[in-house]
Structure 1
């Protein structure tokens, strides 16, 4: 368990827990081992900070060697270097043939083979029937031998910092995840579940996100501790957690509960309803789930908890309990907008999420609606305030008339925006209210130090539908592309069924038209090459796309992963996507971990993944805009040609949408001193730092916000 916890700490904090232990007889007993460790890390694009190198040098050599072996496994997995990446065309990106020539050569070889069984289906050649097509024709070692060593360039170097002991670092990570004011990613929720069972004595100051609360309550049930429950839905989420199901309630859960767990749930449910009977109104939102849970809890067998029985009576329709939302809707149906706003003020989050609608329904009631908003603003979470502020950014004349919707699993759809504009006076008053309330909750540091690279990172208002990984930014973030060659990669390993993932790249002009693509049906285009189609992956398979940003003519380059056949992203043993950046004169293997700028797991029920898009600016420089979206697609035979229209529409809606970024919060802060850290060493004393990575030499007592805890910037 200690090694598992250590792995989670390194992966999610980029800190290495420094083991306790006496130093050897020499003053630098582990120095040589630490330097070898640092050199091995650099081959994967990581390195030890000066502080960590010094701390390890004081430890025994064997201790450093054992730690190095464990950490190297973690960082290689983070960069995608824990598997063998082979390419169909051995010399890729050199030696990629014209698509038609390649197919003809495959056919000629098949016709020359008396044992080949070439299939013609519907008058078309079935490529999968050609013996030479879709299967590696050389070994991994033969591919390596065909490539020169990687020439040093502007490669990524991620610094690992010194941590405290494993137990202290685990508790630190647990408190950070449990106390997050924004929903976590799926991977982070899994980490929280593990750490909650490990850090049973750690008590978060608050657990604002209800999914997180369910995972902590799960452990408290086992420990016999007090439960954090204030709504009936909290109890439903806890039942899902105890059954190892989906605490977000997005997917159904089969309830498997012990007698002890059933009693805990019924007691908690009874206490919630006893203290506030109006909370029965929340039952209708999950009526069918409550019915299924009631079949497992048998509430009628426990007469001492009569209020818990009321919940299931409401679910069965035997008892009426109007929901809060229903009461608000009844007032709106009666054209009483002012009354609806005043009622909604009792649930401030509901009121603020409904402001746009209320202001549009009856502009004459705008004053009353905004009066209610002002009275409730102090009770609204910072995340909701920022979400409404971002919403206002896209309710101006600058928007393109399209809206993008994304569900919890990243499924995206773009629709036309047919809403009338907000009344100008109401718009300005609401904007000023939000700015004032958000600004009052932000810290006013004595000395704020900012890495300019973080300013265009979108605020992580939710981790849902965003995968964890190396160099992954929130949806809507913009980051510069500082290389000349852009190389995408996908890796997958099937579990049971023969599975074919297809890496493709759609290229569009400035009007999101004139589509061209790189894929298995188009191996070469001006400025790019595809590594070749692999059609099954029992031992794992990789595909690559290489794009010369100087040669490509398109305005937008949109990588995507299509599931052509077989298992889905949630069903394969492993799958991930990423991209590398290289200079034109760099060679190396198709996959070089030092050049990986982003790598993230592919997850979700959809069949087409759209991780990000690359955009050429008016100055000719390229930027990445992060999407984290999926298209549902078909169960099989998804291709870039078949989804080019929906991909273009969805990409346009994200590219042209305005997102609230770190820059906005920095502008609202009022530090006594502000320093933009652009390559210079950090100040000597304690500061508040905001950046992508913690810089070397930052004072130990500094308050630090990086990609790993950027959500802590969101005010409570």
Structure 2
């Protein structure tokens, strides 16, 4: 296999289950291909017949190279590329049942056990060993060397050459899960890359971290070759920066800027471009850093007042870390020709727009001015020099800079006057801002029917210019505004999701206003979607009603399955749930202790118990063990890292009065999640708990950890309904010593509020988005229920899109066509699981790949 375009091959394999291989002239023996099949089966994958036939024609070195490429790519996606050895190697069978007694034994050994002395627990001699490098003395009669993988006293990794550690036990053989996911032969890598580049460019909301990485990889490998693939319009400004900023790193600046000029129209576009070129984030959210504050100064600061209780650990520290957001980044080298080209680009913009746009990110522009030296060229670029004078609040001679009123200052004045008409007069100039502030403008209008009419008239005139994601958000939000919500939840811009909850003080909106606006939005959405490729049949899974349309994707966790925040998945009641956590410290990095826990609550969110490092087993009221931990490793040395597991028996927990089981990932001490070499977690759904600790074939979710220190609440299991709620939510927590006990109040407040928020329908589901597409693009819509049964509804002769959509939403079994069958023509499919063979060239969205590989992502349906 050619080493060219290695990242492109990997991302197309991950995203589309496609393998690209030129036909060879040899014929490898069947035994060689069987070894390939066995290797892939360990990850839960299989080759399609045509891919297997193609690979069999390759020479042996090429075949081995492709095999290695496939295995490494898929293993990394699932988490199988790392070593997974928990503290208790015989987990789940040999986890100590009494955590308190174990802790007492550890404390006594730490303080009282000396080398060469009789064991303080059993009194035997000749049974103790000194472990390296921690120097703890352990007795092999009191601590099972065949069960531990690290020091039994401090739980840090130790030299396994010590006689204390016995060989690893042979794992029991587990069952083989079926069916396997299919890999297929790709037709043309360049064609697939072109389609993907265009789809990513056409996205109408900020991309997820996975999409961002893939977009930059494509630009970095194809370079100027991909310029002809770029559409005329790239709606999201950050994506413009990602594309051309990445190209700027690899290509001649003049060629890149010439191509970028047609897409860059604001000063913020320019600074985003420079940020990507410098290796920074184009969202311009600022970099979070920690500065040490002396303890004497910290005691007088309000933000630290809760730290200094009489028994607090912080009383013994010399300093306290203070989180700061820095609006600057390490600047890449800007050569003189590049600086002049950037200044010329800025000079071409409207002067008022230039100045106002620079003021939106004033701190960044003050920083960038130190590298651009705009006043050296003030005669050549006078508009840029003026704008920098406003931004810096002084001219080059030190005199006060000119005054300037921004768009938002004028808008705020109108809001303060409660003048809805003045608000919309300004907002008409920026349709996207009008859509985002529509609810606010209607509330400012209040009972004034004339003002409310002006707001709706303005929105009707601007709706065609509003982005599709904003319209979808409004379509879902407005029907919920008939009544006040229990909690109002904000999603602040940031690198991770930190939903902010407040009491909902908004007055409800009038039903007539809501209905008129919703009809307007739906008419516009149907018109947009009808311009996309028409297909006779649409196949839609009803289970997508529990999958939320992606929003705020910038903060989504990198994951093997792109499950949008707020979505709900069915958990088969017969399965055992095994949660996993793996992290690794950087080489020569600080010791970092992450912890995996599960907290248990009843129907009313009253705390029932926990399975964690301080309670290794959680028992129910009948004495049965409902959850078991594999132990608490307190470091994760480079390069192998550390893994923790928790097994959850959902059926036993439910019988013992547990309604909710909350997975909690805590940064107990050490480095922030984002500064680790790598850190990921997830869950396996297993028919049994025997076999390898980590079985990639059973991985249902795998996601990376991001953000700073604190607490990550990824998911909640509703054991009564056998549902998993994916929250993907971070809370700030403490600087250290985070656990379920310190986070219990947050968990009991945040989790039910988030579940109720998404259950209210405030976010559109993928099912309803697919119905909008079906009503606009199909002659027949087939709905598959969770049992696999299908029913279809066909468009009437002459029926318009709105009428067909209304019938689809009222779809009942009595209305269905009899015995719908899939034809041989390509169709559109929106599936939860791609477990059905579809005609060639079909357009497929699937949350989880299987017999059919997805060809589009959820975000492509919003474009």
User: Is the aligned partner of 1:405 residue 2:481?
Assistant: no
Cα deviation 1:294-343 (Å, max 9, x = unaligned):
11101122232222223212212323342222222222233321121132
Looking at structure 1, the residues matched to 30 and 826 of structure 2 have their Cα atoms a distance apart, in angstroms, of 29
User: Is the aligned partner of 1:230 residue 2:301?
Assistant: no
User: Is the aligned partner of 1:614 residue 2:754?
Assistant: no
By relative contact order (CA 8 Å, sep 6+), the higher-ranking structure is 1
Map of 2:238 onto structure 1: 211
Map of 2:628 onto structure 1: 529
Q: How does 1:54-133 map to 2 (within 5 A)?
A: 54-96=53-95, 97-110=97-110, 113-115=113-115, 132-133=153-154
My pick for the range that moved more, 526-535 or 397-406, is 397-406
Q: Secondary structure at the match of 1:408?
A: coil
Shift of 1:366: 1.4
Q: Which of these residues, 463, 467, 471, is aligned with residue 381 of structure 1? A: 467
Q: Which of these residues, 659, 665, 673, is aligned with residue 780 of structure 2? A: 673
Map of 2:840 onto structure 1: 700
Map of 2:274 onto structure 1: 239
User: Is the aligned partner of 1:179 residue 2:266?
Assistant: no
Map of 2:403 onto structure 1: 320
Q: How does 1:163-562 map to 2 (within 5 A)?
A: 163-199=186-222, 200-202=224-226, 203-205=229-231, 206-218=233-245, 219=247, 222=253, 223-224=255-256, 225-227=258-260, 228-251=263-286, 252-256=328-332, 257-273=334-350, 277-302=352-377, 303-317=379-393, 318-363=401-446, 364=448, 365-397=451-483, 399-409=485-495, 410-443=497-530, 445-482=535-572, 483-495=574-586, 496-526=589-619, 527-538=626-637, 539-552=640-653, 553-562=657-666
Map of 1:598 onto structure 2: 701
Shift of 1:179: 2.6
Distance change (3 Å), C-alpha of 1:543 and 1:699: same
Cα deviation 1:247-277 (Å, max 9, x = unaligned):
1101232323222331222121111236xx3
Map of 1:22 onto structure 2: 24
Q: Is the 8 A contact 2:14 2:73 kept in 1?
A: no
Looking at structure 1, the residues matched to 55 and 153 of structure 2 have their Cα atoms a distance apart, in angstroms, of 51
Map of 1:152 onto structure 2: 176
Map of 1:134 onto structure 2: 155
Looking at structure 1, the residues matched to 784 and 469 of structure 2 have their Cα atoms a distance apart, in angstroms, of 27
Map of 1:581 onto structure 2: 685
Map of 2:294 onto structure 1: none
Looking at structure 2, the residues matched to 406 and 93 of structure 1 have their Cα atoms a distance apart, in angstroms, of 41
My pick for the range that moved more, 74-83 or 360-369, is 360-369
Q: Gaps (5+ residues) in structure 2?
A: 116-129, 137-149, 287-327, 394-400, 620-625, 790-820, 848-853
Shift of 1:36: 2.9
Q: Secondary structure at the match of 2:674?
A: coil
Q: Secondary structure at the match of 1:161?
A: strand
Q: Is the 8 A contact 1:494 1:572 kept in 2?
A: yes
Distance change (3 Å), C-alpha of 1:388 and 1:320: farther
Distance change (3 Å), C-alpha of 1:91 and 1:629: same
Q: Is the 8 A contact 2:770 2:830 kept in 1?
A: no
Looking at structure 1, the residues matched to 843 and 284 of structure 2 have their Cα atoms a distance apart, in angstroms, of 35
How many equivalent pairs are there?
Answer: 697
Shift of 1:148: 0.4
Distance change (3 Å), C-alpha of 1:16 and 1:248: same
My pick for the range that moved more, 541-550 or 588-597, is 588-597
Looking at structure 2, the residues matched to 342 and 521 of structure 1 have their Cα atoms a distance apart, in angstroms, of 60
My pick for the range that moved more, 29-38 or 430-439, is 29-38
My pick for the range that moved more, 394-403 or 635-644, is 394-403
Q: Secondary structure at the match of 1:247?
A: coil
Looking at structure 1, the residues matched to 472 and 709 of structure 2 have their Cα atoms a distance apart, in angstroms, of 29
TM-score normalised by the chain length of structure 1: 0.91
Shift of 1:34: 4.0
Distance change (3 Å), C-alpha of 1:471 and 1:189: closer
Q: Which of these residues, 746, 753, 757, is aligned with residue 653 of structure 1? A: 753
TM-score normalised by the chain length of structure 2: 0.76
Q: Is the 8 A contact 1:359 1:423 kept in 2?
A: no
Looking at structure 1, the residues matched to 344 and 750 of structure 2 have their Cα atoms a distance apart, in angstroms, of 47
Q: Is the 8 A contact 1:156 1:595 kept in 2?
A: no
Shift of 1:549: 0.5
Cα deviation 1:7-37 (Å, max 9, x = unaligned):
532454233332224332x5xx475544432
Q: Is the 8 A contact 2:535 2:826 kept in 1?
A: no
Looking at structure 1, the residues matched to 103 and 412 of structure 2 have their Cα atoms a distance apart, in angstroms, of 61
Map of 1:630 onto structure 2: 730
Map of 2:667 onto structure 1: 563
CA RMSD, 1 decimal: 2.8
